[in-house]
Structure 1
Amino acid sequence: MGFTNSSSTQTPLPKLQLAIVFLIQLTEPIAATVIYPFINQFVISTGITGGNEKKTGYYAGIIESAFFLAECFTVMLWGMASDRFGRRPILLLGPLGLCLATLCFGLSTQYRELMIFRSIQGAFNGNIGVSKTILAELSDSTNIAQIFSLAPMIWGMGVIMGPSIGGVLANPEEQFPSTLGKIALLRAHPFFLPCAVVALFAFLFFLVALIGLKEAKIDASTRLNPGSLVKSYGAIQKRPSTSTLCSTMSSTSTLDVDVESDQETVLASDSEDEEDLKVDVEPPATLKSILIPEVLLPIANYSLIALLDSSYTVLIPLTYTTSVPAGGLGLTPFHVGLILSVWGAANIPFPIFCIPRLIKRFGARTINFVGVCSFLVGFGSLSGLSMLASAFGHANWLVWALIPVQFLFSNTVGSMAYATAQIFVVNGAPSKSALGTTNGLCQASKTMARTFGPVLATSLFSLSKERDLLGGYFVYTVFMLITLVCLRTTMTLPIEMKNLG
C-alpha cells in the first residue's frame, strides 16, 4: 500500500527550487568527509601527539566526531528558528557560516583551533534539517517519494567528492611542486587548499540560494493575523485550521486575491450561501507538541538506519584493509578508494529512476523493510568475505567476484531505507507548522546516531579481533542484532500514509 492520492497525475516537480535545496544539502557530506584523507597528518602537524603516532587515531577521532556532535546540538535550534523566522534566512546562514569556518579550519596550526572550527562547521551545518523541511513543503502525495528518494544520491555524491578533494589537493608542495607547491601560503598551510575548495563550493551554493531560493514560511505580519494567507513557493495558499499534516497539505489551493496585512482575511466562502469561514493560523510548534508516537517512532527508525549505515561505512574499509591473518581482506587503501568511488558513481541512477517507482508500487513501509534487511546482507557479507580470504590465504578471484554482489544487495538496496525514512518523519508531523521542529528533532537524533556508530563499530572490531570473540566476528553479529531491532521499528510505521497532497 502506498500514499493516498486524489489524482493519478503526478504534480510537476519544482526543479529549480529542488536543485537549490539539494545543492545546500550537498555541503554536509563534502564538508564532513573532506578531512578524512589528511586528518591524521594534520593532527600530527599540530604537535598534540608529542611525536607518539599511536595517539594520532584518538585525537583524529575527536576531530571527526566534533562536526556531528555540534550539528546534533544545534539542529533543533535551527529547526525551531525556521518555524518562527522562515526557512530561507535560516537556510542561507548554513553555507555562509560553513564557508568561513572551513577556511579557518584549513589555516589552523594548533589542535584546539581545529576543534573550535570543526565544531563551528558542524554547528552551521545543523540547519541541514531545514532543507528537509523545505523539501516536504515542496512535495505532495504524488511526488514526495520521488523527491525524498534523491536524498541518498546527494549524500553519496558528497561522500565521493569530499575524500577525493581532500586526497588530491592536500599537501600541494609534494603533489604539485612545480605549480601550486610554489605558493607560500600553501607551503605554510599544506591542508588549506582542499578546505578552500570546499569553502568555495559552500559560498557558491550560498549565492545560488540567495538569488534563487523562494520563501515558503509566512512572514511576521501574517503570523499575527489569524486567517491570513501563506505565501508558498510562487503561490498564494489558504492556511487550513485543522492540526494534522494530512488536512494541512491537502486543503491548500491557489487563490487570486490580495493579502491585507492589518486585517483578518476571509479565505473561503460557500458559493450558495456566501457564508465566510474564518480560520486560525497555527502557532510555531513547541518541542513538547511533537513528542508523540507518530513522530518518535519514525525518528527511531531513521536514527537506527543512520547508526547502521555509519557503522557499515567505516567497517568496509576497516575490514578490507586489515591483513588476512588479522581477519580482513588485505586490500590496499587504493583498492578500497577505487571500489567505493566506482560503486558510488554507478549507484547514482538507482535513487532517481528506481526507488520512486518501487515506493509507488509496493508502498513506503515495504521498501523501508527491504532496505533495512540489506544491512543483514552487508554485515553478514563482511564476515563471509573475511572467512573466504582466511581460507584461501588472500583475497582471490572469488572474493573479488563477490564484492560487487555485496555492494549490490547492501549499499544499493540499503539506499531505499534512507529514502523512505524521511517520508515517514514528514508524514508523522502533527501539523505543517511543526515540520521545522520535527525535522530538527529527527536531524539531531540521526546525527547523534551517526556520531556514535563509527566509534562503536571500530571499538567492537578491535575487541572482536583482539579477544577472538566469536572467532573475531562478534562485531558483525552485534550489528546484525541491531538491524533486527531496526526492523521492529519498521513494523510500527503506518501502512497507509496520510494524504500529503
Structure 2
Amino acid sequence: MAAGERNESSAAVAAPLLAAARERKLCKEGCPGCRLDEINKSKTGIPYLNFFYVWVVCLCAALPIQSLFPYLYFMIRDLEVAKQEQDIGFYAGFVGAAYFLGRTISAVPWGIFADKYGRKPCIVISILSVIVFNTLFGLSTTYWMAIVTRGLLGLLCGILGPIKAYASEVCRKEHQALGISLVTSSRAIALVIGPAIGGFLAQPTKKYPNLFSEESIFGRFPYFLPCFVISVLAAGACLACIWLPETLHKYHDDKVEAIEEMEAQVADSTSEDRKAKQSGSGRMASTKNLLKNWQLMSAITLYCVFSLHDTAYLEIFSLWAVSSRKYRGLSFTSQEVGTVLAISGFGVLVYQLLIYPLLAKYAGLVKPFRSAAVLSILLLATYPFMANLYGVELKVLINIASLLKNMFAATITIACNILQNTAVGQEQRGVANGISVTLMSIFKAVAPAAAGILFSWAQKNITGLFIPGDQILFWMLNMVSVIGLSLTFKPFFSMPSALK
C-alpha cells in the first residue's frame, strides 16, 4: 500500500512537470521542426519555394527509373546475354527488378534513419547515390554489372519514404494534399523528361553521327549519355538541398530530458516491460504498433497491389511497343516510345496540379480511386487490338490510351499516399513510410521480373492457345487491378479517422 501511495504521489508530482514539458515542446528554441511550424503558423499561404525544392529532389530521384524503359530492350540485346529475340524480355525484367530489390532491403532502415537524424541527411545521401551509381550503370559492359549498379542505386537511394513524410510536414495541414501531389507529380514530370532523355539520347552515335563519333566514349558506351545527363541534373538537385529546411523536431534540453526520464520511471513502476523500451527497443515496439494499425496497413496493401500493376504495366508496355510486328508488337523505335511516355507524363502533370486537387476536394479520395481502377481495367482490355493499327491512327490512339492509363494510375497513387500519411502521427511517418516503401518495393521488385518472364512467354505463344499470348498478357495485368479494386471495400479497407 505504501509503495502504491508513493507511486501515486510521484505521478501526481510529475504530472504538472510533464504537462509543462509538453507545452515547451510545442515551440522549442533551436529545434528546426518547431522553427518551421512557427513559420507555417504565421504564413497561411502555400510554401512555393519549399515545394519547389521537394519537387526537384523527387524528380532527380525518379529519373533513373523512368529513363531506363525506352532503351532497356536494346541495351539487353547489345549486351548479348539473350540467346534469341524472345528471351530479351526475360533478361530485361531482372535489370528492372534489381533497383526495387535494393530499395526493399533498405527502405525501413532509411525510415528509421530519417526519424532519428532528420529528413534532410537522408535526402542528400540519396541524391549522391543517384550521381554515382546511375553514372556507373551507363558505363556497364556486362549484364551483371548493370544488375549490380542498379541494385546499389536502389539500396542507397532511400528518398521515397522520407520525402513523402517531408512533403506532408513542410506545409500547413490544408496544403498537405498539394504537397503529396507534388511528390507524385515529380514522377509525372519524370515520365516526361525521363523517357525523352532515355529515348533520344541512348545510342547517340547512331542517331546523331555528326555530333558523336564511334571512337568517343559515347560510341564505346552507347547508353552512357542519358545516364550522364541525369547525374548532372542530380548534382544540381544536391546543391538545392542546401536550402531545404529540416522538418523533424529535435530537442536537446537537459531539463526536458530529465522530465521525460521521470515520466518513464513513473510508468516503469507498474511494468517491467518499459525497461526494455528504455534500453532501445522502443522503435521495435513502435513498428509493431504500426503493423497493428489496420487503417495504415489497408492503405499500404492497396499501394502495394497497384504498384505491382503499374510497374508491370510500364515494363510490358515498353517491351511490347518496341518488339516486332511478327510477335504482335508495335515495332516502335526508342524515340517513339520516349515520345509516347513523355506526352503521357506531361498530361498527368497537368492533371495532378490542376484537376486532381479539385477532384479530391469535392469527391473525396475513395470514389475517384475506385472509378480510376474500373476505367483502367476497361482501357487495358483494348491494348492487344492496337497491334492491328498502323500509321497516324495507331500513334494517336496509343498516346490517348497511355495518357488515360497514367492519369488513372496517378489518381490511385496520390490517394494511397494521403491515406498512409493521415493514418499515423508525425513521429511515426518516417517508419510508416519506410514500411510502406519496403512492402511496395517487394511488389515492385517482383513486377518487372514477372512481367519480363510473362512477356517472353507471350511472344513464344502468339498462336496455338485458345486466345493469343498478347491478350493473355494484358488480361493478367487486369486481374491485378481487379484484386486491388476488391480491396477498397470492407472488411479489407479502413478509412483513416482524420479523413472521416
Aligned counterpart, 2:100: 68
Pick aligned residue for 1:446 from 440, 443, 451: 440
* Structure 1 unaligned spans of 5+: 1-9, 229-240, 242-261, 265-281
Q: In the TM superposition, what whole-angstrom CA distance separates every residue of 1:352-377 from its partner, at most 9, and x where no partner exists?
A: 01111111101112122222223212
More helix by share: 2
Pick aligned residue for 2:158 from 117, 126, 143: 126
The reply to whether residue 207 of structure 1 matches residue 202 of structure 2 is: no
What amino acid does structure 2 have at the position aligned with 1:447?
A: S
Aligned counterpart, 2:9: none
Pick aligned residue for 1:96 from 128, 142, 145: 128
Aligned counterpart, 2:248: 217
Residue pair 1:43, 1:59 contacting (<8 A) in 2 also: yes
Q: For the structure 1 residues 47 and 400, does the alpha-carbon distance in structure 2 shift closer, same or farther, using more than 3 Å as the test?
A: closer
Residue pair 2:70, 2:337 contacting (<8 A) in 1 also: no
| SS of equivalent residue, structure 1 residue 468 | coil
Aligned counterpart, 1:299: 300
Pick aligned residue for 1:465 from 462, 465, 475: 462
Which residues of 2 match residues 313-328 of structure 1 at below 5 A? 313-320=314-321, 326-328=327-329
Aligned counterpart, 1:498: 498
Aligned counterpart, 1:273: none
What amino acid does structure 2 have at the position aligned with 1:290?
A: L
Instruction: Tell me how far apart the structure 2 counterparts of residues 324 and 306 of structure 1 sit (CA, whole Å).
Output: 29
What amino acid does structure 1 have at the position aligned with 2:371?
A: V
| SS of equivalent residue, structure 1 residue 142 | helix
Q: For the structure 1 residues 490 and 222, does the alpha-carbon distance in structure 2 shift closer, same or farther, using more than 3 Å as the test?
A: farther
Instruction: Tell me how far apart the structure 1 counterparts of residues 419 and 107 of structure 2 sit (CA, whole Å).
Output: 19
Residue pair 1:72, 1:126 contacting (<8 A) in 2 also: no
Q: For the structure 1 residues 384 and 497, does the alpha-carbon distance in structure 2 shift closer, same or farther, using more than 3 Å as the test?
A: farther
Instruction: Tell me how far apart the structure 2 counterparts of residues 170 and 331 of structure 1 sit (CA, whole Å).
Output: 15
Q: TM-score by structure 2 length?
A: 0.76
Aligned counterpart, 1:288: 288
The reply to whether residue 427 of structure 1 matches residue 422 of structure 2 is: yes
Aligned counterpart, 1:238: none
Q: For the structure 1 residues 199 and 59, does the alpha-carbon distance in structure 2 shift closer, same or farther, using more than 3 Å as the test?
A: same
Q: In the TM superposition, what whole-angstrom CA distance separates every residue of 1:185-241 from its partner, at most 9, and x where no partner exists?
A: 4444343332221111111111101x211111133626994599xxxxxxxxxxxx9
Instruction: Tell me how far apart the structure 1 counterparts of residues 138 and 385 of structure 2 sit (CA, whole Å).
Output: 41
What amino acid does structure 2 have at the position aligned with 1:22?
A: W
| SS of equivalent residue, structure 2 residue 361 | helix
Q: For the structure 1 residues 406 and 439, does the alpha-carbon distance in structure 2 shift closer, same or farther, using more than 3 Å as the test?
A: same
Instruction: Tell me how far apart the structure 2 counterparts of residues 224 and 474 of structure 1 sit (CA, whole Å).
Output: 66
Aligned counterpart, 1:418: 413
Q: TM-score by structure 1 length?
A: 0.76
Tell me the CA shift for residue 453 of structure 1.
2.3
Q: CA RMSD in A?
A: 3.5
What amino acid does structure 2 have at the position aligned with 1:424?
A: L
Tell me the CA shift for residue 467 of structure 1.
4.8
Instruction: Tell me how far apart the structure 2 counterparts of residues 343 and 223 of structure 1 sit (CA, whole Å).
Output: 54
Aligned counterpart, 1:479: 477
Aligned counterpart, 1:28: 61
Instruction: Tell me how far apart the structure 2 counterparts of residues 192 and 401 of structure 1 sit (CA, whole Å).
Output: 31
* Structure 2 unaligned spans of 5+: 1-42, 264-280
Worse-matched range after superposition: 330-339 or 294-303: 330-339
Aligned counterpart, 2:367: 366
What amino acid does structure 1 have at the position aligned with 2:247?
A: A
Tell me the CA shift for residue 130 of structure 1.
0.9
Residue pair 1:106, 1:189 contacting (<8 A) in 2 also: yes
Instruction: Tell me how far apart the structure 1 counterparts of residues 396 and 78 of structure 2 sit (CA, whole Å).
Output: 40
Instruction: Tell me how far apart the structure 1 counterparts of residues 254 and 215 of structure 2 sit (CA, whole Å).
Output: 54
Q: For the structure 1 residues 224 and 423, does the alpha-carbon distance in structure 2 shift closer, same or farther, using more than 3 Å as the test?
A: farther
| SS of equivalent residue, structure 2 residue 408 | helix
Q: Percent identity?
A: 21
Q: For the structure 1 residues 222 and 299, does the alpha-carbon distance in structure 2 shift closer, same or farther, using more than 3 Å as the test?
A: farther
**How many residues are aligned here?**
434
Residue pair 1:371, 1:415 contacting (<8 A) in 2 also: no
| SS of equivalent residue, structure 2 residue 359 | helix
The reply to whether residue 158 of structure 1 matches residue 155 of structure 2 is: no
Tell me the CA shift for residue 137 of structure 1.
1.4
Which residues of 2 match residues 27-426 of structure 1 at below 5 A? 27-39=60-72, 42-43=75-76, 56-181=88-213, 184-209=216-241, 211-219=242-250, 221=252, 225-226=256-257, 284=283, 286-292=286-292, 293-320=294-321, 326-328=327-329, 334-383=335-384, 385=386, 389=388, 394-395=389-390, 402-403=397-398, 406-407=401-402, 409-426=404-421
The reply to whether residue 14 of structure 1 matches residue 47 of structure 2 is: yes
Instruction: Tell me how far apart the structure 2 counterparts of residues 104 and 331 of structure 1 sit (CA, whole Å).
Output: 28
Instruction: Tell me how far apart the structure 2 counterparts of residues 128 and 144 of structure 1 sit (CA, whole Å).
Output: 16
Residue pair 2:91, 2:452 contacting (<8 A) in 1 also: no
Tell me the CA shift for residue 298 of structure 1.
0.3
Q: For the structure 1 residues 121 and 318, does the alpha-carbon distance in structure 2 shift closer, same or farther, using more than 3 Å as the test?
A: closer
Q: For the structure 1 residues 320 and 63, does the alpha-carbon distance in structure 2 shift closer, same or farther, using more than 3 Å as the test?
A: closer
What amino acid does structure 1 have at the position aligned with 2:47?
A: P
Residue pair 1:326, 1:465 contacting (<8 A) in 2 also: yes
Instruction: Tell me how far apart the structure 2 counterparts of residues 223 and 454 of structure 1 sit (CA, whole Å).
Output: 51
